[in-house]
Structure 1
Amino acid sequence: MQTNFSPEQLKDPLTARSNKILRACVHCGFCTATCPTYQVLGDELDSPRGRIYLIKDMLENGRDADEKTVKHLDRCLGCLSCMTTCPSGVDYMHLIDHARLHVEKTYRRPWRDRALRWMLARVLPYQGRFRLALWGAKLARPFAGLMPDARLRAMLEMAPKSLPKPVREDGVHAPIGAKRARVALMPGCAQRALNTDINAATIRLLQRAGCEVVVPQSFGCCGALTHHMGREDDAHHSARATIRAFLDAGPLDAIIINTSGCGTTIKDYGKIFPGDADAARVAGLARDVTEFLDQHGLPEGTGQALRVAYHSACSLQHGQQIKTTPKSLLTRAGFTVLEPENPHLCCGSAGTYNLLQPELSGELKRRKVAALEAVGPQVIAAGNIGCMMQIGAGTGVPVVHTVELLDWATGGPQPPALKAVGGIPN
């Protein structure tokens, strides 16, 4: 793609990077075939290629974002399926990040939108606030149908029927047997409020694998949620706090992440903070839990014979390019792994997307749940809390984290989500 940025514009590092990204695009349109929103809407401007044209026009002309551009950029899930498909290696992730930052700086949204986004940025990344909000939403859930705004209804409907009791994982968890590695665990922010079973299973599994597991105290958000909303200051503040927490944890062999949305962002810290050695060091240590276990080795176990439909989170398969590893680990642990049709398509969760774009998110959820249920699973596994909540709201099949199944198969307890439906017969 030909671009015409001025020398003055190219002095800005973000613009210079976006210029290189835009020039890599050859208009082939392969991305449209794998874009979830284009699949639903059929509008060229709701495809990566269409959005690239909108971004180019906005940035190249140095103009403020307008309503039309914002509408189509907001509809982008940021699932990055287009990057997996693109034969030219277009770095759409950093292009859409730059565009969203530009939108946030130059476009004044309607007051309802501003209020909602401000609230999400001030609540979701903070475990205590989020837990309080979930309790409020749980109480108000019976009245969701009376809400005139679909986004408010989506917020109320997101609240689970029950909330786990707060659990403190902070501290050092000793390895079982000989110590083979020292790792830190990123416990997540929303995850700690929504599902405490995931971190508990992760810690047990790593301990049995000979790991000393460090969970830094007072851990907050990695910055992913606000980063993808274009709120640069909030995102950078959270990211720098995360970097400090990991550096203060002492010598580490790896930083373990069991929520893939966080993993994609943390692995990108070196580019978010170019030239920052500490950011690059943390990014280089970051490993998805399945990525680490594949290299380090699973603990021995008896295995479990169970039909598992595996949902590959977009942030894992597209953002981190980890595609076969979780399925291979589940198979090695004795499970029969089933893959649904169109596994590359997003479930519609995508961070705050299910709250900001509830209609599109709902249609993507319906399609994903139908595809998963069609393979006849006893349980659905995923590697991201957002996907688990999204899919779980649309199906009666129990949904658990991949690490919970691996923990169970290698000596841990049966996942509580399976017990809640009366257990799963082998």
Structure 2
Amino acid sequence: MQTHFSEQARTQPQIGEADRILRSCVHCGFCNATCPTYQLLGDERDGPRGRIYLIKELLESDEQDDHVTRETQLHLDRCLSCRNCETTCPSGVEYHKLLDIGRAEIDRRVGRRPSERALRLGLRATMVEPKRFQALLALGQTFRPLAPFELRDKIPARQTPKAAHRRLAGRRPDPDRHSRQMLILEGCVQPGLAPNTNDATARVLDRLGIGVRPAMEAGCCGAIDFHLNAQATGRERMRANIDAWWPMIEKEGKAGIEAIVQTASGCGAFIKEYGEMLADDPAYAVKAKRISELAKDLVEIVREENIEALGVQQRDPRRLAFHCPCTLQHAQKLGGAVEAVLARLGFDLAPVRDGHLCCGSAGTYSITQPTLARQLRDNRLDALEAGDPQTIVTANIGCQSHLASAGRTPVRHWIEIVDDALMA
């Protein structure tokens, strides 16, 4: 794609980066064929190719250009950031980076309505602080029947854990009994919505001879702030997490911390980009690069172990359908990895059509774009349920809670199913 930035403009980091990405696009339109919002809306501006043109027009225009409007902002807001288009693109266009640049610039130019600012600030204030989120979640569950319909399906009903889970709640195996050590990110909303996920992870990895421990000072990975255009705050959260993890990484000496495990693929995708996003920070560039190298999705750990020795095979008769999160398959390029692990363990997996498509969760998208998100969710559930599974499993808390909000087939994290089988 030809661009028309001045040499002076190209010296600005964000324009230089945008220019590089735009020039790699060849207008082929393959991206539209796999874009969930384009499939729903049929508008070129709601597909990657159209959004690329909108961002190009925005960045090449001057401050007073009449073409830069809230309509441009609307089409950029409707993007899920699922990165399906990047998997499809034959030219390797790094669309998600261009989108971040465009969204920041359009917000700077046209601003936000008060209601939008309030919603985004509220999401950032509540979702990134686990204790605050859990308190508000408990309040919401109490008054759930009185909540408006749009909000009600986002508040999960209180779950009654199995007896085995109640007995083990909050208890994890002692990591010090293993020479192999890994850190685990607790997350921000996951401890409230699915507290058993990381507990189950600790138990399964313990059986594989791996000790996992949290760094309690580590908090939200930064993705929520960053993708709501509070990019500076998102980077501050990255630095805070690096500060929390670094002493533990150094303390382990030559053997070292093997990995920083994420059980939410959205967090994993973001942490793997710390090194790139902080590459220009002289105080954190080296550490951030090391953190990104250590960041591993849970399936990357489990698939390398002798999982057949766990003896899970044939213990669980349930048929499963796996929903592969976009952050796992398109961002981390781990499509098929969880399915392969579950197959090795003997689970019965239902076929799933259009497995590349997004469920509509996409971080905070299901709250900021509820109508589109519900359409995408229901379409995804139709595909997942076509194989008649008893349980849907996934690898990201956002997808898990969004799919479960329909009240149809039960949805859980895949590691919980493995843990259940081990406790059977």
Partner of 2:272: 267
Residue 338 of structure 1: aligned partner? 350
TM-score by length of 1: 0.90
1:164 CA displacement:
8.1
Q: Which moved more, 1:396-405 or 1:197-206?
A: 396-405
Is 2:225 the counterpart of 1:226?
A: yes
Return the match for 1:403 from 406, 415, 418. 415
**244-253 vs 84-93, which deviates more?**
244-253
Preserved CA contact (<8 Å) 2:275 2:289: yes
CA distance in 2, matches of 1:241, 1:171: 25
Distance 1:286 1:347 in 2: 25
CA distance in 2, matches of 1:94, 1:69: 17
> Residue 366 of structure 1 is aligned with which of 351, 369, 378?
378
Amino acid paired to 1:183: M
Letter of the structure 1 residue corresponding to residue 6 of structure 2: S
Go from structure 1 to structure 2 and tell me whether the alpha carbon gap of 1:244 and 1:140 turns closer, same or farther (over 3 Å shift): same
Tell me: CA distance 1:171–1:100, structure 2 relative to 1, closer, same or farther (3 Å). farther
Change (3 A) 1:55 1:209: same
Alignment match of 2:295 (pick from 286, 289, 307): 286
CA contact (8 A) 2:171 2:199 kept: no
Question: Aligned runs of 1:82-231 on 2, under 5 Å?
Answer: 82-145=85-148, 153-162=149-158, 173-174=174-175, 179=178, 181-231=180-230
Deviation readout 1:344-397 (Å, 9 max, x if unpaired): 110000000000000000100110111111111011110001111111122432
- The aligned counterpart of 1:422 is none
Q: How large is the RMSD of aligned CA atoms in angstroms?
A: 2.1
- Using the alignment, how far apart are the partners of 2:139 and 2:58 within structure 1? 40
Instruction: Indicate which of 399, 412, 424 corresponds to 2:423.
Output: 412
Q: How many residues align?
A: 403
For residues 228-254 of structure 1, give each alpha carbon's deviation from its aligned partner in whole angstroms, at most 9, with x where no partner exists.
111112211211111111212233111
Q: Which moved more, 1:117-126 or 1:232-241?
A: 232-241
Identity of aligned residues (%): 38
Gaps of 5+ in 1: 146-152, 414-426
Classify 1:395/1:371 alpha carbon distance in 2 versus 1 (closer, same or farther; 3 Å).
farther
Q: 2:21–2:93: 8 Å Cα contact kept in structure 1?
A: yes
**Aligned partner of residue 213 in structure 1, secondary structure:** strand
Pick closer, same or farther for the CA change 1:171–1:142 going to 2, 3 Å. Answer: closer
Q: CA deviation at 1:170?
A: 10
- Secondary structure at the aligned position of 1:400 is classed as strand
Is the Cα contact below 8 Å between 1:380 and 1:399 reproduced in 2? yes
Which structure 2 residue ranges, 5 or more long, are not aligned?
A: 250-255
User: 2:287 & 2:217 partners in 1: Cα distance?
Assistant: 20
Matched with 2:321 is 309
Q: Classify 1:233/1:33 alpha carbon distance in 2 versus 1 (closer, same or farther; 3 Å).
A: same
Q: Who is 1:148 aligned against?
A: none
| CA positional deviation for 1:14 | 2.1
Is the contact made by 1:308 and 1:338 (CA closer than 8 Å) also made in structure 2?
yes
Which whole-Å CA distance do the structure 1 matches of 2:354 and 2:172 have between them? 41
